[in-house]
Structure 1
Amino acid sequence: VSIPEDWPHHHAHVLANLLGIGDKEFVAEVPRPFKPEQVLFVGLNDMMEALHSKPLQNMKFDIATPDDIEEDSSKVLQWLDSRKPSKVIVHFDLDVLDLREFRSLLIANPDTYDEMVGKAPKASSIETIIRVLQDVAKAHDVAGLGITEHFPWDAYHLQNMLQRLPLLGDINKKDKAPFNWIF
């Protein structure tokens, strides 16, 4: 959840736009903006700089940290039960997964991986997130599930290798294909 003034990558503006903040053209397309009390952040190991943006500072977002969901899903289920939603929409940002277990994340760049593992706090395990999402789906009507932030480093490196092998690519090619992480 960020705004254009604080983060240039539009994929990170969706929630702000749904809250009625940010790019005027996008916000105009939202007939019924969400309220902060309709949003629960689950599994984040930090709240990122974006939540410190001026328009977002006064919003009170509820949070279930990786520690809150490690043993059970009760904090998430209690939050949902207290709001009695008719439908639940899940935005599953793969960045909530621990990069020590799941490395297809931008932050897990092989060139800086060791440094990032040292800096990044432990995040949620794949099994924890599966359990939470299953528990939510058993108790509530999940009407939407988006999965974002996948960056398959191994596939990128395989592509570069295949493009330069005999019979498959150009054996005279020396440079690697660039990757575009500005979505």
Structure 2
Amino acid sequence: MIFINPQWQGSGFTDDLKWGTQTFISYFKDRDTKVIPLSSKELTTIGNIKCFEPLLEQAKFFKEVISTSKLDKIATIGGDCGIEIIPISYLNQLYQGEMCIIYIDAHADLNTPESSPSKAFHGMPLRTLLGEGNGEFIGLLFSRLKPEQICYVGLRDLDEPESKYIQEYSITTITDCQFEYVQTKLQHFKNVYIHLDLDVLDKSEYAFSMFPTNNGSSVSNVAELVRKLKANYNVVGFCITESTATTLEQLNPIKPIIDQIQL
């Protein structure tokens, strides 16, 4: 099964990600999928988090679905990166913390509501998973991560508080999207969760993400990294987020990646 979570409010007040997720629903129409419902609550800013109420309600929806599914592996398509707090914390509890998060993303997603310049929740999920941030979202977690479980790949756009946190806790950061570098981090882990925000890709190859940038990773390198991780480790979760593609044709460049979503 592939969970498709069209949550977009974590990116702020623009719903581009909702339409991007609809394109994925069409792409996977012949596969076993389950779509997480969207909330209709107002897009209010509470506790320095934009769209707080629908985000909280959607996280509760997703938690209920994951709880009743009782899966030992989870594949998810988003939506914004804020959806990650539920599947990651569930699998981390299931595997008793013996899981490395390979976070393939141009951004660190390590802000708190107080440190975030944008107040958009998609910049906060990892910090929430580490047990810092809004108490209501933290209260929905199945478990919390430790900094040593995180391995960034392709990170290149940081806010100052995020840089300080990474330095303080010596979080592994790998610039090149190459399996050989990532493998070093995985010496002490058997179980792997892959998070992929498509903004890690160079916009010359794929421009349909929320924040496409130059000097990103190539589609072929990311696809090869995912393939090798799946071949050499127990990949228990894989989530692809933040596509704004509105046609199936626009997804063609990333087929080598998205066709690997099934676990």
Does the 8 Å CA contact 2:199/2:242 hold for their aligned counterparts? yes
**1: distance between equivalents of 2:197 and 2:154?**
10
Give unmatched runs, 5+ long, in structure 2.
Answer: 1-108, 248-263
Q: 1:51 to 1:59 in 2, by over 3 A?
A: farther
1:140 aligns with 2:140: no
- Aligned pairs for 1:74-93 within 5 A: 74-80=180-186, 82-85=187-190, 87-93=191-197
Letter of the 2:218 counterpart: S
Other structure's SS at 1:129 match: helix
Match of 1:104 among 208, 217, 220: 208
1:48 aligns with 2:158: yes
Bigger share in strand: 2
Q: 1:142 to 1:129 in 2, by over 3 A?
A: same
* Number of residue pairs matched by the alignment: 136
CA deviation map 1:119-166 (0-9, x unaligned) = x441100000000011111111111111111122x65xxxxxxxxxxx
Letter of the 1:13 counterpart: M
- Residue 83 of structure 2: aligned partner: none
**C-alpha displacement at 1:52, in angstroms?**
3.0
Question: TM-score, with normalisation over the residues of structure 2?
Answer: 0.47
**2: distance between equivalents of 1:53 and 1:77?**
23
**1: distance between equivalents of 2:160 and 2:237?**
24
Q: 1:34 to 1:50 in 2, by over 3 A?
A: farther
**C-alpha displacement at 1:54, in angstroms?**
6.8
Match of 1:30 among 138, 141, 153: 141
Other structure's SS at 2:228 match: helix
- Residue 220 of structure 2: aligned partner: 127
In percent, how many aligned pairs have the same letter?
29
Q: Please say which structure displays the higher CA radius of gyration.
A: 1
- Residue 15 of structure 1: aligned partner: 126
1:65 aligns with 2:175: yes
CA deviation map 1:91-140 (0-9, x unaligned) = 101111001110102235xxxxxxxxxxx441100000000011111111
**RMSD (Å), alpha carbons:** 2.2
